[in-house]
Amino acid sequence: MGKFEYAPAPESRDIVSLRESYGLFIGGEFTPGVDGRAFKTISPATEEVLAEVTEAGPADVDRAVSAARQAYEHTWSRLPGAERAKYLFRIARIVQERARELAVLESLDNGKPIRESRDVDIPLVAAHFFYHAGWADKLEYAGYGPVPRPLGVAGQVIPWNFPLLMLAWKIAPALACGNTVVLKPAETTPLTALAFAEICQQADLPPGVVNIVTGAGETGRALVTHPGIDKVAFTGSTEVGKEIARACAPSRKKLTLELGGKAANIVFEDAPVDQAVEGIVNGIFFNQGHVCCAGSRLLVQESVYAEVLAALRRRLETLRLGDPLDKNTDVGAINSAAQLAKIRELSDVGEAEGAQRWSPPCELPVKGFWFPPTVFTGVSQAHRIAREEIFGPVLSVLTFRTPAEAVEKANNTPYGLSAGVWTEKGSLILWMASRLRAGVVWANTFNKFDPASPFGGYKESGYGREGGRHGLEAYLDV
Ligand code: NAD
């Protein structure tokens, strides 16, 4: 069965009013950079320039860290938890009020479908602020001692795949625990972080509690190596994570790293096939596969391999790829030309190494960065597409016969962020979950997030947890 024809249903972008250029958000004000450097942020779906953004140099990072230190010493760390909570509640409510605008802005700058930014990213952003507002005056009950103390100034660096959501994961717990922050968004997706700066103004957050410095890797390096930072929180690639770990090692900075993944999504023969197929699609094609915990390795029990693959192919033929602002779109644009080149390269390697490549018939727009949903079969554990993170809409399919073999193959990776198990047997779910070396194991679902649930990795997927009671530890002096 093919696709139903739907009339286009584009979300209007009128709700977003973009400025031509943005300064840095330091000490509660937007300010120009010291050396006047700037870069452009574009829509990956059309390559249209959206705005010019300031590139923060070391002197700007220094100003931001000083502003955060001032705010920490004189205001934020002195406020009672209940007062900090009020600000976090206020921010959460403003995010809800401006949800449609933020969703459109996120889809414009990132390329993700509006359906996802509207229904997943932005509601979770609000949920993270609500959840942590609840903790701000109850920290003494979190299990970290009777008077848990904040760390000071946090330097936070985030990636482009969930721009505003990663910001919320970083800023909400930091502020709830009494820290102030300097955050650097990714260079390809700075706009929602700058909108968040406006929200901080709207919420009357004391100046300097949140500072946003835009820029690329050099700006990130200046931030994490700044001697005035007490805590570094990084989400991004394992390669950069290792560099940051080395840079922080000789210092007293507390460090948490949320890095890459190569998760196994494991389908047993007794799993309900249609439900599992939805989970496979959600696991790897949600957000174009730009998901650190994506189910990028499908492990299917041999006895149901043909059935699952046939159902998966049928389902993929119904996915709609195109305009991220169209409410019917399932698969949006790849975030950048560089990421597209990486996905193409690894997919070509997959073919060259002998795996079979398949994509549903799908017309790609001429402008912008696009890659069709792709499935590789005949993949062996030695293939690069089974070992390396592709961070795109590319699924590698492997098979197994026994639960023990599934565990062995799932754990055969340097990463350990997440895994999925599909079976009707509760005992098998528990047996698998206790053996899988992954921070999150989803059972009969995938990519489910909740601010109350800790998230983080094993092995080269990083250390520390974000979310839940466990996530508070990263921002407390314990
Ligand atoms: P990246 O590491 O290249 O960049 C991440 C951020 O770090 C960006 O803001 C970038 O400007 C900055 N940066 C780059 N070099 C730096 C340096 N030397 N010092 C300090 N900062 C530096 O990664 P990316 O391509 O933006 O993101 C994709 C990666 O992020 C994937 O590997 C993915 O798995 C990972 N990721 C992990 C999680 C998680 O929670 N574990 C979540 C999302 C993404």
If you count them, how many residues does the chain have?
478
The Cα 242–Cα 231 span in angstroms is 16
Token readout for 326 is 């169209």
Q: Give Cβ neighbours of residue 126 (< 8 Å, ≥ 6 apart).
A: 92, 93, 95, 96, 99
Whether 258 is in the pocket of ligand 1, judged by its Cβ within 6 Å, is yes
Cβ 203 vs Cβ 179: under 8 Å: no
State residue 4's pLDDT score: 73
Whether 160 is in the pocket of ligand 1, judged by its Cβ within 6 Å, is yes
The Cα 240–Cα 218 span in angstroms is 12
pLDDT band at residue 2 using 50, 70 and 90 as cut-offs: low
The Cα 149–Cα 163 span in angstroms is 28
> Alpha helix locations (H) across 98-237?
99-110, 114-116, 122-136, 163-176, 191-202, 217-224
pLDDT of 1 strictly over 60: no
CA of 159 to the centre of ligand 1 (A): 5
What residue ranges of the chain are covered by domains with CATH 3.40.605.10?
Answer: 21-259+459-475
Ligand 1 binding pocket mutation candidate from 166, 237, 239 (most atoms within 8 A of CB): 237
Strand-pair category, 254-258 with 264-267: unpaired
Whether 216 is in the pocket of ligand 1, judged by its Cβ within 6 Å, is yes
Whether 291 is in the pocket of ligand 1, judged by its Cβ within 6 Å, is no
Catalytic residues: 258, 292
Tell me the percentage of the chain whose pLDDT exceeds 90.
Answer: 98
The DSSP code for 121 is I
Condensed to tens digits (0 to 9), the pLDDT of residues 352-364 reads 999 999 999 999 9
Cβ 244 vs Cβ 80: under 8 Å: no
Condensed to tens digits (0 to 9), the pLDDT of residues 246-288 reads 999 999 999 999 999 999 999 999 999 999 999 999 999 999 9
Whether 159 is in the pocket of ligand 1, judged by its Cβ within 6 Å, is yes
CA of 310 to the centre of ligand 1 (A): 35
- What number does CATH give the domain 264-443? 3.40.309.10
State residue 6's pLDDT score: 85
Burial of 204 (0-12, 13-18, 19+ CB in 10 A): exposed
Condensed to tens digits (0 to 9), the pLDDT of residues 304-345 reads 999 999 999 999 999 999 999 999 999 999 999 999 999 999
Residue 236's φ and ψ, nearest 5 degrees, are 170, -155
Whether 268 is in the pocket of ligand 1, judged by its Cβ within 6 Å, is no
The Cα 439–Cα 449 span in angstroms is 13
Residue whose Cα lies nearest atom 13 of ligand 1: it is 217
The Cα 345–Cα 390 span in angstroms is 9
pLDDT band at residue 5 using 50, 70 and 90 as cut-offs: confident
CA of 167 to the centre of ligand 1 (A): 13
State residue 441's pLDDT score: 98
Whether 447 is in the pocket of ligand 1, judged by its Cβ within 6 Å, is no
The Cα 90–Cα 290 span in angstroms is 30
What residue ranges of the chain are covered by domains with CATH 3.40.309.10?
Answer: 264-443
Domain 21-259+459-475 in CATH 3.40.190.10: no
Cβ 30 vs Cβ 39: under 8 Å: no
pLDDT band at residue 3 using 50, 70 and 90 as cut-offs: low
Ligand 1 binding pocket mutation candidate from 221, 257, 259, 335 (most atoms within 8 A of CB): 259
Which atom of ligand 1 is nearest the CA belonging to 247? 19
Residue whose Cα lies nearest atom 3 of ligand 1: it is 237
Q: Report which of 214, 208, 180 is spatially closest to residue 195, judged by C-alpha positions.
A: 214
CA of 260 to the centre of ligand 1 (A): 9
CA of 472 to the centre of ligand 1 (A): 22
Mean pLDDT computed over 115-123: 98
pLDDT, averaged across the chain: 97
CA of 95 to the centre of ligand 1 (A): 24
Strand-pair category, 418-422 with 394-400: unpaired
Whether 187 is in the pocket of ligand 1, judged by its Cβ within 6 Å, is yes
Q: Rg of the Cα trace of the chain?
A: 22
Residue 321's φ and ψ, nearest 5 degrees, are -110, 135
CA of 186 to the centre of ligand 1 (A): 8
Ligand 1 binding pocket mutation candidate from 184, 219, 240, 244 (most atoms within 8 A of CB): 240
Whether 332 is in the pocket of ligand 1, judged by its Cβ within 6 Å, is no
Condensed to tens digits (0 to 9), the pLDDT of residues 72-108 reads 999 999 999 999 999 999 999 999 999 999 999 999 9
Which atom of ligand 1 is nearest the CA belonging to 391? 31
Task: Give the E-state strand segments of 216-324 in sequence order.
Answer: 231-235, 254-258, 264-267, 297-301
Whether 236 is in the pocket of ligand 1, judged by its Cβ within 6 Å, is yes
The Cα 229–Cα 475 span in angstroms is 12
